[in-house]
Homo-oligomer: A and B are copies of this chain.
Amino acid sequence: MGLRDRHERWHERHGQAGPSGGSPVVRGRPRSEAVERAIIEGVMSLLEEGVSLGDMSIERIARTAGVGKATIYRRWKGKEELFVEVMRATDEPDPELPGDSVRDDLVAVLEGIRRRGLAKRSSALLQSLLAQAKNYPQLWELYHEEVVARRRARVTEVLRRGVEAGELRGHLDLSLMGDLFTGPMLARTILSHDAPLPDGLSESIVDTVLAGLRP
């Protein structure tokens, strides 16, 4: 899936019409959100043209998006804050949690990480965006914190439910317990370029951590 498609889906999730039309869902300040969308798409167009984040001035983004510089500054303090928004727009959506069992919910969370890893490997533009983003420590921190914090909160909630329902032993703190499930998948998607990410990997990890590795 291209960045643009993902971006459209992001807008669908947020209750707005995609750029290709459809009746706009009125919520909050739709007019303002259309402007934000244009600005984010401006950054994406420039990225697709090969312009680096470093060479992207607010002025150039404004010109590409067909808005004034003040319109951008009214929404974001500067480039870094805007780029965080762009990175969010390229993300895979958080997976739906089926909610039937802790096991299935954990598989769904790991599938989200795996899909994000596969998307990163297959999209040169996404790779370039992530590589460039690392040169902006503040941006990277903001983005990373949000992604990680959101995932941790979801996993903690699933595990708390599992301990309460007696599906999990409760001897570890929930944060460490979460790392036992997500850590192996993150090691393969974030810390490795080439560890295989086959179908069924999420199930393997979750089921093995639940059952243990002793014979």
Could you tell me which A residues sit within 8 Å of B by CB distance?
131, 134-135, 137, 148, 166-169, 171-172, 175-177, 179-180, 182-188, 190-192, 195, 201, 204-205, 208-215
Contacts and interface: CB of A to CB of B under 8 A. Distances in A.
26 contacts: A166-B215, A167-B214, A167-B215, A169-B214, A169-B215, A176-B188, A176-B201, A176-B204, A176-B205, A179-B187, A179-B188, A179-B195, A180-B184, A180-B205, A180-B209, A182-B187, A183-B184, A183-B187, A184-B184, A186-B187, A186-B191, A191-B191, A210-B213, A212-B212, A212-B213, A212-B214
Contacts of A208: 171-172, 180
Contacts of A176: 184, 188, 201, 204-205
Of A134, A184, A190, which is in contact with the most chain B CB atoms at under 10 Å from its CB?
A184
A113 to B, nearest CB: 11
A210 to B, nearest CB: 5
A213 to B, nearest CB: 5
Nearest to A175: B195
A167 B166 CA distance: 27
A120 to B, nearest CB: 15
A191 B148 contact: yes
Nearest to A193: B141
A6 B192 CA distance: 27
Contacts of A168: 213-215
A141 to B, nearest CB: 9
Nearest to A185: B183
B177 A213 contact: yes
A41 to B, nearest CB: 29
Contact of A190 (B131, B169, B191): B191
Nearest to A145: B193
Contacts of A134: 134
